[in-house]
């Protein structure tokens, strides 16, 4: 017969089993997260438990950020007890000294021309600072002397700022001398020789250049003023534009507004090498029979040329119908609208060409699966032996407590 004490023991054992299982379930995610966490790397040098950081280890840690003498001085200053080793506190102080040293070096480099940091700039410092912009030492010296208002041989901040304005003016004047255009001698006017040298890359005909120069030289003094030079450049632009129009006028080479048979043949010979066909097209397009093609007649002739070429491509021997064939003036057939043109894509079900878009998707999915698999395997194998042992022990304890609780419960009921 079960006593009151047995019931209490059974309840306690059951509660203890439930609590153990809950604790196991709560500790399992923490254990998994701990095993997946990678060790954190720090920039601090490794130190043995029984000693501090030696000078050699400190020098290796600095790794060229400072010169050897500075590293040694900082080490000796930070080594308060003089044991030749840096403790953690001494190492922290040493790193503050390193930061101060590097900051002071950067300030010296950013001082500009004042390399010695005395607050003023000597001629030597100014010359070293300007030599990349002005390589003439005499010019640099003249600028320095003009900016040195008090004549003490040093430039203050205000005097240095004024010197830099003089440097900028000198550089700008040098650039203007190089970019003065055709006026190479800088006398304010342009001679025929200077104008020819300036224009020769645009117009290589010296007679044309001379005619433009004489037309622009209104006062006839043999020099072009600024106003005359501007007018000469408009004449140059007109000449270049006219030359370009002559090249782009199409078959009308003589520019008379109409196209002769010779001009039409020269224009078409690359497309149709049969002179008889070209002549027939010309005569068919020459409606007024004057032996010249107007713009409208030339446009109609080009439609006949296109029709002839298209007819040759389709196997037509003649390639061109007469005026009375095919209706009104044998106009070329219009192309079918896009919606009525045959579909160039292969039909579905063709034995020769098959298109399977699903294959690309399957291949892509397989590729993704292959990429994800190593990562998953890595995560599953990231548990250490100790963690696995602890998890197994917790599972065993929970199972034993569960079995004991269940056995006790059955015994009480029986």
Listing DSSP states for 336-390 in one string gives PPGGGSPP-SPPTT-SS----HHHHHHHHHHHHHHHHHHHHHHHHT---HHHHHH
Of 271, 337, 328, the C-alpha closest to 300 is 328
More confident residue, 84 or 372: 84
Of 108, 138, 113, 110, the C-alpha closest to 126 is 113
Encode pLDDT of 4-23 as tens digits: 666 666 666 667 667 666 77
More confident residue, 48 or 263: 263
Which strand (E) or helix (H) includes residue 260? strand 259-260
Encode pLDDT of 372-389 as tens digits: 333 444 444 445 676 777
CA distances to 93, 117, 140 from 105, in Å: 19, 11, 28
| Terminal Cα-to-Cα distance of the chain (whole angstroms) | 9
Encode pLDDT of 260-295 as tens digits: 998 888 888 878 988 899 999 999 999 999 999 998
Residue 233, SS3 per DSSP: helix
The stretch 205-219 carries a mean pLDDT of 92
Ranges of H-type helices in 248-294: 261-268, 275-285
* pTM of the model as a whole: 0.27
* Res. 327 pLDDT band, cuts 50 70 90: very low
């Amino acid at each position: 017969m079960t006593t009151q004490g047995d019931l209490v023991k059974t309840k306690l054992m059951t509660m203890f089993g439930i609590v153990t299982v809950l604790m196991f379930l709560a500790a399992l995610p923490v254990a998994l997260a701990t095993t997946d966490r990678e060790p954190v790397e720090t920039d601090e040098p490794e130190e043995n438990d029984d000693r501090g950081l030696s000078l050699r280890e400190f020098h290796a840690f600095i790794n060229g950020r400072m010169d050897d003498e500075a590293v040694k001085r900082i080490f000796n200053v930070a080594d308060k007890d003089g044991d030749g080793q840096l403790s953690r506190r001494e190492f922290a102080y040493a790193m503050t000294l390193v930061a101060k040293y590097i900051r002071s070096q950067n300030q010296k480099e950013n001082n500009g021309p004042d390399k010695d940091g005395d607050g003023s700039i000597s001629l030597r410092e100014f010359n070293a600072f300007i030599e990349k912009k002005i390589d003439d030492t005499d010019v640099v010296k003249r600028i320095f002397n003009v900016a040195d208002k008090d004549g003490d041989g040093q430039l203050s901040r205000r005097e240095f700022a004024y010197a830099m304005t003089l440097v900028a003016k000198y550089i700008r004047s040098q650039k203007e001398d190089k970019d003065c255009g055709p006026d190479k001698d800088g006398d304010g006017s342009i001679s025929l020789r200077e104008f020819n040298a300036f224009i020769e890359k645009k117009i290589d005909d010296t007679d044309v250049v001379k005619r433009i120069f004489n037309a622009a030289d209104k006062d006839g003094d043999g020099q072009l003023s600024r106003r005359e030079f501007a007018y000469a450049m408009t004449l140059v632009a007109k000449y270049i534009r006219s030359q370009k129009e002559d090249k782009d006028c199409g078959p009308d080479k003589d520019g008379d507004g109409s196209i002769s048979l010779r001009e039409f043949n020269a224009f078409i010979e690359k497309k149709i090498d049969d002179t008889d066909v070209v002549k027939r097209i010309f005569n068919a397009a020459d409606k007024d029979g004057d032996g010249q093609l107007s713009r409208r007649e030339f446009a109609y002739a080009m439609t006949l040329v296109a029709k002839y070429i298209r007819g040759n491509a389709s196997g037509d021997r003649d390639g061109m119908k007469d005026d009375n064939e095919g209706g009104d003036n044998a106009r070329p057939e219009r192309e079918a609208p896009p919606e009525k043109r045959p579909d160039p894509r292969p039909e579905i079900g063709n034995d020769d060409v098959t298109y399977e878009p699903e294959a690309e998707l399957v291949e892509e999915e397989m590729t993704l699966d292959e990429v994800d698999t190593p990562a998953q395997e890595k995560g599953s194998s990231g548990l250490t032996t100790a963690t696995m042992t602890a998890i197994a022990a917790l599972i065993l304890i929970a199972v034993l407590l569960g079995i004991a609780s269940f056995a006790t419960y059955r015994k009480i009921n029986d």
